[in-house]
Structure 1
Amino acid sequence: MIKEITITVLPEDEKNKAFLETACFKELKKNGISADRNDTVFVFVKKSIDARHGQLKLHLRYKAYIGETPADARTSELPVWKKADGSRKIIIIGAGPAGLFGALTLLEYGITPIIIERGDETSGRRKDIAKISTAGIVNPDSNYCFGEGGAGTFSDGKLYTRSNKRGNITRILQIFTKFGANPDILTDAHPHIGTEKLPTVINAMKEFIIEMGGEFHFHTKCIGFLLDGTKKVTGITAKNVITGEQSEFKADSVILATGHSASDIYTLIAGICPEALEAKTFAIGVRVEHPRKLIDSIQYHGKTEGMSAAEYRLTTQAEGRGVYSFCMCPG
């Protein structure tokens, strides 16, 4: 039997293994389950902090394996990837999250992913981004929006979604840890890889995709689609944004993983198949910064010793519109 339970403890009891185990058995008993201590294993699943009502509490979720062999929390959902042999090829436009995970998904089936990215790799992209603030120079093809890893690589490193019914979130987190992310993201309620660590994780993903037979073409911008007589897309035309040289890439299909900033792609589609486009709402926001000490003190009611960086979420209605905090980077 596998039973999921949640216990609530004080911060000072978080590291007391004997206390936590006893609390877990008590919780099982509340649920009408009598478990043998020698035949039960508790696997930590998730931690969330409750700072309401002036009292800090931790909600710890566990899976109780009663008479069962526990699954490895770091690898249980990892896919099996196959070396691509080149017999089937699919072009992916964009090397952001959708493009990278799209490539990994194709490798589950042994299909060769060919990733086309107009921006630079993370090492060169870092320099392009630095020039924005130091010299006021913006490279239109390699900046905060474009380049290896996508728009979030140098601006966040956060991992959080409210859409938990669309797919296997644990699988995604385990893939990130395989490529170097801190295993804490598997159990934190609002996991963060960290902006300083994310480029290294992205690089490891790229190297693995290449090792498995995939291709990356940086500084390469899609400027058109190749169509057959039935208007089926059979490839793309591309331009090297540094040399201006144009080339063709042919494949069985093309995946658009271009993100929201690629207006040129929408223009291309509008010229070929305008009925494929539809208007979309969007949110606009501002960045607000607070000293960590202030947020920690407010959220933890002054009891900050030994606590991780606090976070918060705000939402309200103003003049008929929803106003909310989109993302928050603790610390």
Structure 2
Amino acid sequence: MTPQAVSPARQRAEAMSDGSSLVRGPLKGYHHETYVLSPPGGSVTVKLREPRSTSLWFDRRCFQSEEELLRGLQGRIDRVPGIVDVEGMGLQTFIEGRTLGEHRWRGRPVPDAVFGQIVDLFRQLTRITAGTLRVQRRCSPEDAPEDGDTDAFLKRLVVFVEEQVYAANRPVFGGLFAELGVRDEALVHLEKNVAGLTPRPFCLLHGDLHRENFVVDPRGGLWTIDWELAMVGDPLYDLATHLYLMRYPADQEARMIREWCEVVEEVRPGSSRAWEHDLPLITGFKRAQSLYTDTVRAALSLREGTGFRWAALPRAAAKLQGAVAAAAGPLGLDAVPGRRQVMAALARWHRETAALPAE
């Protein structure tokens, strides 16, 4: 049997460590090939991450460097990875522990001790504004609306979905989108649907607060990792994204909303203004955004070389059908296809695009 080639990322990790036997990885992750290593003479372990060439990026990134952002957050956000300079590279420290996802709490109540630390994280985020964060941003002026312009903030996110997700992938996936009932006018409807948000003072947002981005260390401390999607904007957007991704039970979701309102108002009055009206609108945007990304990923996940993973089709179609149903309202879709229709659409997409490489 021919030995598997060692990736360049693995080679770099071994060269930076005290020995190849001390390199762990690759760790589970979609966007990056990640290894954990101990630099020579170092007292901490760090992560070496290289972007995967096959990864699809469907989210806007607003800071030039996640590592530089983390440098700027030291002492301002409790328990975020530190940065260690190794051979001219800033590497994040590796947090020993288990993610909330690994604790198998998905869909179940989060323990009170963890819940309280998440609320404290929102408190700390609300204190950090664009004017107090000396970290270089990559966004253009039009992608950085004036403080409090929540309408412009969310409109730019809709435009990003339209240009960088839908239009960019339409040449290959346009037929599949159409079979699901998702046409050009859907995003026009979405933009109108989310218009009219109440102004709220902007602050730093993590942008991706889900269970895999929270690590509980052996002492019970909650660490927040993966800050690549951080941005400055409407604090209610961070709450909406968090609730959408965490899947709290209904009573704990209501508690999170209540306690979030209390802490953000304590820090910056007006941060939760009109949340009852605006939170459902922003959550609707998240459901719509997910449909576009889920469609592309579902189709590519079924491709295996030049073949098709028929055994995985029913489950993938069921998940995608659920995404269409969830996004139907915000996108103004006329009808929601059934699971069999979605299965047929995915199989047809594969036949018509069989020459494409696998994900």
Shorter-chain TM-score bucket reads: under 0.3
Q: Which has the higher contact order (CA 8 A, sep 6+)?
A: 2
TM-score under structure 2 length normalisation: 0.22
The TM-score, its normalising length taken from structure 1, stands at: 0.23
Q: Which has the higher helix share?
A: 2
Higher percent of residues as strand: 1
